[in-house]
């Protein structure tokens, strides 16, 4: 399954393991470097992303969004929260796209901006990693 290259970026495959093993935590630096900054670059190269305290602050589409990073939770839960918050930011900016983590090939991980028509058929498909309607095996 392919995704539009201009709306996709590769994430270090260590994240696949960190999320599936549900054991490590997400740091603010990780959240900025591997998730927030690449997403914002895909969505709008003029937007600004920075850290303030234990939060990510994003100036995007004439609005400022503050996202607290759940550094006390497992990586899987913290990243799910982060992706949800980033998607709320996109919705608040009236973007008709959602941010998702997908597995295009075994053990590979990508961040991608998806149109609703692209995201809807992925619900329940193992290609869609986060957000997901599937439960975690390690609760």
pLDDT tens-digit readout, 46-82: 899 999 998 999 999 899 999 999 888 888 899 999 9
Token pair in block for residue 11: 């994430």
| Model pLDDT for residues 28-37, shown as the tens digit of each residue | 999 999 999 9
Structure tokens at 72: 């006390």
pLDDT for the residue numbered 1: 56
Spatial CB neighbours of 97, under 8 Å, sequence gap ≥ 6:
7, 43, 90, 113, 114, 115
Residue carrying the six token digits 């009236």: 94
**H or E, element range at 65:** strand 63-68
Has residue 20 got a pLDDT over 60? Answer: yes
Please report the pLDDT score of residue 31 as a whole number: 94
Instruction: Return the percentage of the chain with pLDDT > 90, whole number.
Output: 57
Domain boundaries, the chain: 5-130
**Cα angle 109, 135, 42; round to 5:** 30
Q: Residues 40, 22, 33, CA angle at the centre, nearest 5°?
A: 25
Mean pLDDT across 19-39: 89
């Amino acid at each position: 399954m392919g995704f539009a290259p201009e709306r996709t970026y590769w994430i270090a495959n260590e994240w696949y393991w960190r999320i599936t093993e549900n054991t490590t935590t997400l740091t603010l630096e990780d959240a900025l470097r591997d998730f927030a900054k690449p997403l914002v670059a895909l969505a709008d190269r003029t937007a600004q992303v920075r850290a303030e305290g234990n939060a990510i602050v994003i100036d995007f589409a004439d609005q400022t969004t503050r996202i607290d990073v759940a550094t006390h939770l497992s990586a899987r839960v913290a990243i799910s929260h982060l992706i949800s918050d980033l998607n709320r930011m996109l919705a608040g900016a009236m973007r008709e796209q959602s941010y998702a983590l997908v597995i295009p090939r075994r053990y590979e991980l990508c961040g991608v901006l998806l149109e609703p028509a692209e995201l809807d058929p992925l619900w329940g498909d193992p290609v869609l990693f986060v957000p997901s309607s599937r439960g975690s095996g390690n609760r």
